Amino acid sequence: MARRALLGALAGAALGAVAARAAYAAFTRRPPVGDAETWNRTNHRGEPITLLEGPALVAGAAAAAAAAPGLPAGTRAAALLAVAGSGVLGAYDDLYGVTTSKGFRGHLGALSKGQVTSGAVKILGIGATGLAAAALTSPGPADTLVNGALVAGSANLANLFDLRPGRAIKVGLLGGAPLLAAAVLRDAPVPAALVAGTLGAAAALLPEDLGERSMLGDAGANALGALLGLAATATLGRPGRLAVLGTVVALTAASEKISFTRVIAGNRVLNRIDMLGRRPVEQAPAH
């Protein structure tokens, strides 16, 4: 019977959702750094939008990891390290990054020439915190390397989808749902609470994202991906983790050559999911 895992998942989801909404309300009144203008950006329509959704997701997911009942100390510490590391480094890139170099190739290419970009700092930093988080929950060096790569790779991949309203959160929900189902069916309360807290925080902020009032930015997208990657390490056996890691690497490599937005727009099913809940492209903003 999956009662323990189901209860853990419900508790984690509720904690993540409530904390994320509370954090978003608090940050819109008083941002964590600077003022509201510091976090304002222009979206794909050329309209103003705030990046404060990202810190709110970080806070909500961190609160769920800290307060969810039954998590072992190592798992709790790993989750907090993964979300804090990816969230802080993502926020650094959000606030102080430049766009002269893009993608893994661009940032690492600049680094090879002695130019330290904010993106390179983020890539290396998330790699380090992902490896450290994995070391807290992995049984040996081989698993630590696989799990660390999965945490860091998932953090980066989630950010690649944060180009249209709600897209990164939808990808996170679709990717996290099978992990949650597997944990509940196995009656594994630890991974169930871990993934549910992350999904709860993301789902609670989805209306703001779809309404084009806010977006995750690097802070929120990196944190979402890192935590789902960590949840995968706690849920799957080594073959499953290697398969997921291979998929993450393949999609990341593909992103250097193709546009995810173009691929999604050209596929009827993917485009319908992508547009679900969104304002039509031609519709003018409400006043």
Report CA-CA distances (Å) from 16 to 72, 109, 233, 273.
Answer: 18, 38, 20, 24
pLDDT in tens, the chain (287 residues): 478 889 889 999 999 999 999 999 999 999 998 888 999 998 878 889 999 999 999 999 999 999 998 899 999 999 999 999 999 999 999 998 765 556 555 555 555 666 657 677 888 899 999 999 999 999 999 999 999 999 999 999 999 999 999 999 999 999 999 999 999 999 899 899 999 999 999 999 999 999 999 999 999 999 999 999 999 999 999 999 999 999 999 999 999 899 999 999 999 999 999 999 998 876 444 44
The helices-and-strands tally (H runs, E runs) of the chain is 12, 2
* Amino acid 107: pLDDT: 53
* Amino acid 287: pLDDT: 40
Report CA-CA distances (Å) from 245 to 13, 104, 187, 193, 232.
Answer: 25, 16, 24, 22, 10
Residues in the chain, total:
287
Report CA-CA distances (Å) from 275 to 91, 164, 271.
Answer: 27, 9, 6
Which residues have C-beta within 8 Å of that of residue 53, sequence separation ≥ 6? 24, 205, 208, 209, 214, 215, 216, 217, 220
* Amino acid 286: pLDDT: 46
Count the neighbouring beta carbons within 10 Å of the beta carbon of residue 262. Answer: 9
* Amino acid 47: pLDDT: 87
Q: Which two tokens stand for residue 201?
A: 């925080």
Residue written as token pair 């969230």:
87
Distance from CA of residue 92 to its chain's centroid? 15
* Amino acid 111: pLDDT: 57
Global pTM reads 0.90
